[in-house]
Amino acid sequence: MFGRIDHIGVAVEDLDEAVSLYSERLGMPVQHRETVEQQGVEAVLLGVGENHVELLRPLSPETAVGRFLERNGPGMHHVAYGTDDIDSALEQARAAGLALIDDRPRAGIRGSRVAFVHPKSTGGVLTELVEAAEGH
């Protein structure tokens, strides 16, 4: 079901400040910046080895990440696992009895397809499945 860790999602209040922390002080190169309306976020991907840190700023307080920030403040938001076939990974997650937030994949950053699994069925960790677009 899970091929590899793709990225760690981090919720932030100030995206530019977080980008300068991760890129300048932690030395991770910025690879991509995009507003993903469907997830209610502006996101930045930074490279770390073959994997990424995904910084997430909510577009409004009513989004999922906005509510997360309200409850918890900035910090770790989710872990994303890469898969080559998200439809079959989602089917396996369903068969394993995991509580799916997304019944079917939706549009993610950089042309990817993503689906989230509820933290209540994954030990308190919001879990994302991601199938990268061709070439990423």
109-128 binders of Co ion (CB under 5 A): 128
Residues 19-78 that bind Co ion (CB under 5 A): 54
Using CA atoms, how far residue 125 sits from 17, 32, 120, 121, 128, in Å, is 25, 25, 8, 8, 10
What's the min distance (Å) between Cβ of 7 and Co ion? 6
Nearer to Co ion, 128 or 131 (CB): 128
Residue 100 β-bridge partners: 117
**Minimum CB distance to Co ion, residue 114 (Å):** 7
- Quick one: 34 or 87, whose CB is closer to Co ion? 34
Nearer to Co ion, 89 or 95 (CB): 89
Q: Is 80 in the site for Co ion (CB under 5 A)?
A: yes
- Shortest Å, Cβ 67 to Co ion: 16
Q: How far is the CB of 78 from Co ion (least distance, A)?
A: 6
Judged by beta carbon, residue 84 or residue 95, the one nearer Co ion is 84
Per CB under 5 A, residues contacting Co ion are 9, 54, 80, 128
